[in-house]
Amino acid sequence: MFVRLQKSTFILKALTVLLLACLPLGAIAQKAYETELYTSTLKGKKVKLSLANGYAGASVISWYTHGKNKPILFIPESGVPNEDYVFRPEKERDPGYFILKNIQEAYNHLPRYIKGYYLSGKFSLPLKFRRI
């Protein structure tokens, strides 16, 4: 009886370890959106738009102000796009912000160009992102 009890305890422990090892596999989920890249220039510096097609709130603008150093990241002000979609700096390193025109939550056909503005203080600079 003692051997039978040891064997069943061992099997129970082995199954518990196996279950705990497999639990993280169930937590892996796919993204509900695809990312498309767009580029532009502003003040002679590269600006990249990572447009999240299917969830506009995950879009990001990266502005490379000092060559290949770490860019300034601009994130959407809200998760719901509208006629003027505002992107503010993730950290307060830059006083300006971007406005992109007519951004949609999801596109059937991605636009070739996305127009917008960079606003800082009293000036506004137009820019046009081109799909890569």
DSSP notation for the chain: -HHHHHHHHHHHHHHHHHHHHHHHHHH----SSEEEEEEEEETTEEEEEEEEET-GGG-EEEE-SSTTSPPEEEEESSSS--SEEEEEESSTT-S-EEEEES--S--SS--SEEEEEEEETTEEEEEEEEE-
Please indicate, yes or no, if residue 9 is contained in any of the structural domains.
no
Mean pLDDT of 80-88: 85
Stated pTM of the model: 0.74
Please indicate, yes or no, if residue 59 is contained in any of the structural domains.
yes
pLDDT per residue as tens digits for the range 50-72? 999 988 889 999 998 876 678 88
Say which CATH number the domain at 113 has.
Answer: 2.40.160.90
Please indicate, yes or no, if residue 29 is contained in any of the structural domains.
no
Please indicate, yes or no, if residue 2 is contained in any of the structural domains.
no
Please indicate, yes or no, if residue 107 is contained in any of the structural domains.
yes
pLDDT value of position 21: 65
> To 5 degrees, how large is the angle CA 21–CA 31–CA 60?
125
Please indicate, yes or no, if residue 5 is contained in any of the structural domains.
no
Please indicate, yes or no, if residue 117 is contained in any of the structural domains.
yes
Question: How many domains, in total, are found in the chain?
Answer: 1
Domain interval for residue 43: 34-131
Please indicate, yes or no, if residue 65 is contained in any of the structural domains.
yes
